Amino acid sequence: MNSPSTPRSPSPPTSSTPASILPIGTVGNALDNALMESQIGSYKTELIKPRRPWHSLADVELATAEWVDWFNNQRLHTAIRDIPPHEHQTNYYAQHQPQPAAGANA
């Protein structure tokens, strides 16, 4: 029996545990760990390791926000003809706007 001062280890997840609260790395969860770990590896290689030593958590948070902005909006992506993802998305939606029905009055 555990005394009040003895920490209890968490119960292992069961098949009825919602996927949203399963820990990362749990066998059988729906997260694609390989993709996530690849992204984390890029983040560490491109941002965290080259700028060591970090002086505060605030420095890491600011640099992370800047890196995410660069990654989503500015980096050149070879799979989309060397344009930034944001530009590709803008171009895509500009070409795929719903067209008004023929004969509809504006």
Assess if residue 83 is contained within a domain.
yes
CA-to-CA distance for 77 and 70, rounded, in angstroms? 12
Number of folded domains in the chain? 1
Assess if residue 73 is contained within a domain.
yes
Assess if residue 104 is contained within a domain.
no
Assess if residue 34 is contained within a domain.
no
Domain that holds residue 76: 57-96
Assess if residue 10 is contained within a domain.
no
Tens digit of each residue's pLDDT (9 = 90 or more) over 14-28: 556 565 565 555 565
Assess if residue 32 is contained within a domain.
no
* Mean pLDDT across the chain: 79
**Per-residue pLDDT at 93:** 92
CA-to-CA distance for 45 and 91, rounded, in angstroms? 30
Assess if residue 39 is contained within a domain.
no
